[in-house]
Structure 1
């Protein structure tokens, strides 16, 4: 573990060319850097789960509302003409309700990832772009999150008979290149969209903290991110 402030600065300069020249990190310790990143992730995760894991967290938010897979969305007008409008609407509602139910289960995985963050991890993302912390977070937790959320999504979509019909139809369509492979399974499609929304929310929180660390109400965030301006 690197305890020397000088060593941390040298390593940061090597990893992020040009960044160290414009930021004053001389007063930041390794412990403070890790604490700042953990705090950022905790705030982002809490905000994301709180905003998404509730009634209309997806359905009522145009930025994250899960739409029908492309091949259905593009055919929506025609399908409505043949009397399938209500079924499509029901499917879209059920997808979003499934995501809303699944997202709260992400908290345990997110917290574990945060607690496992090391000084080495902090060096990798300290001086990155506006969403560098979120990007790191996603790379470390996405696979586990998918495994955690998928069974809940399956349980919720199974309550709608169209889920099974969709998978059978999409599977045939994917064999002929009519349906994207990632859209061929309704449960997988919804789970991936839920994760996209989750990390979008985390990223928005990170950008807000970087832009105004004082408003985050944390002394260490003010010190670390404030020094990068």
Structure 2
């Protein structure tokens, strides 16, 4: 490739790259501001059980900051175009009970309808995730510091696992309306309903398929976000360069 053309291509891509970085940085800043606004300024208890003399208050704040960092990273990655559809790890296909629909409809020449449904399902997930920040921020705020020190010294994903066990049901319920709105706005509901109804009307169909997509997409979107949070937590624990604030350095240092 001509070197001048390559340079021009790189220069052309730089603004988009920096725009993404600024967007993620701004999101993290907003998340941390929201979390800190609800943080008590009362004196914290000192703990003599850790080598770094991290107080319970610092441990709790560090956990919340790590979660906020993971959420901002996950949202920035998954909410962009092809965040789900172009990612092999998170791309959604038809729900398991609808896989037989895909095989049947493709066999009778209706593969394009199936492809449109799959595309719009992923577009809906990308759109819904972009509205997830306030939901996750509220959930992070509600975390107590009771188990903070234990979580700080836990395994690579102990904070994420704790957060997941305590908040998945609430997050799923709160996230569902955003998913429904995204499904409707991207016509995913229409495309999926169309192919399900087409399949259900076939004379060879014995077991009808439920055309409801909301629960499936909600569960997959929440799972994907938790996966991104866990990867960010693991990175913060293992990679000192990922501890971008003094608090993260103190709480997660060895």
TM-score by length of 2: 0.70
What number of residue pairs does the alignment pair up? Answer: 203
Aligned to 1:35, which of 61, 68, 74? 61
**Is 1:212 aligned with 2:239?**
yes
Q: Deviations over 1:9-40 (max 9, x none)?
A: 2xxxxxxxxxxxxxx53522212211211110
**Is 1:50 aligned with 2:76?**
yes
Matches within 5 A, 1:1-229: 3-6=45-48, 9=49, 24-73=50-99, 76-158=102-184, 159-160=187-188, 161-165=190-194, 185-227=212-254
In structure 2, do the counterparts of structure 1 residues 42 and 156 end up closer, same or farther at CA, with 3 Å as the change threshold?
Answer: closer
In structure 2, do the counterparts of structure 1 residues 115 and 149 end up closer, same or farther at CA, with 3 Å as the change threshold?
Answer: closer
In structure 2, do the counterparts of structure 1 residues 167 and 147 end up closer, same or farther at CA, with 3 Å as the change threshold?
Answer: farther
Distance 1:221 1:68 in 2: 40
Cα drift, residue 167 of structure 1: 6.5
Q: Is the 8 A contact 2:46 2:53 kept in 1?
A: no
TM-score by length of 1: 0.77
Cα drift, residue 4 of structure 1: 3.6
Distance 1:167 1:2 in 2: 57
> CA RMSD for the aligned pairs?
2.7
SS of the residue aligned with 1:105?
coil
In structure 2, do the counterparts of structure 1 residues 113 and 121 end up closer, same or farther at CA, with 3 Å as the change threshold?
Answer: farther
Structure 1: stretches of 5+ with no match in the other structure: 10-23
Cα drift, residue 75 of structure 1: 5.7
In structure 2, do the counterparts of structure 1 residues 30 and 65 end up closer, same or farther at CA, with 3 Å as the change threshold?
Answer: same
Structure 2: stretches of 5+ with no match in the other structure: 1-42, 201-205
